[in-house]
Amino acid sequence: MVFSEGFKRVKKYIILIFLFFTSLYSYNISPKLLAKKLSLNPASKAIKQWERVFKSQRKMKRYGIDKLSQKERKALEIYLENHAADSDTPEFAGDI
């Protein structure tokens, strides 16, 4: 029965490792870090300009936005528009 106890312990470790890597994979990156990763400065465009970027597949492809998940894309769009040059809280290069 010692074999059975050892197998149960190994099984628990395998499950824990699986859960650990699954949680790492499902971790979402913040929109601010996404913008930085894609070299996008929110204050480089006005709100309407960012809206046009996200409505055009060609423009999204140019900035690399097309490779993001739908959830990341929406979060990035909200972040860029909230911190655009003509927004109430523009974010400048030194703020990033």
pLDDT in tens, the chain (96 residues): 555 666 677 777 787 776 665 554 445 688 999 999 999 999 999 999 999 999 999 999 999 999 999 999 999 999 999 999 999 888 876 555
Residue 7 lies in a domain: no
Residue 79 lies in a domain: yes
Residue 15 lies in a domain: no
Residue 35 lies in a domain: yes
Residue 18 lies in a domain: no
- Please say whether the beta carbons of 54 and 63 come within 8 A: no
> Which DSSP string corresponds to the chain?
-HHHHHHHHHHHHHHHHHHHHHHHHHPPPPHHHHHHHTT--GGGS-HHHHHHHHH-HHHHHHHTGGGS-HHHHHHHHHHHHHTSTTSSS---GGG-
Domain with 61 in it: 29-95
Has this prediction a pTM greater than 0.85?
no
- Please say whether the beta carbons of 53 and 95 come within 8 A: no
Number of domains in the chain: 1
Residue 62 lies in a domain: yes
At 55 the pLDDT is: 97
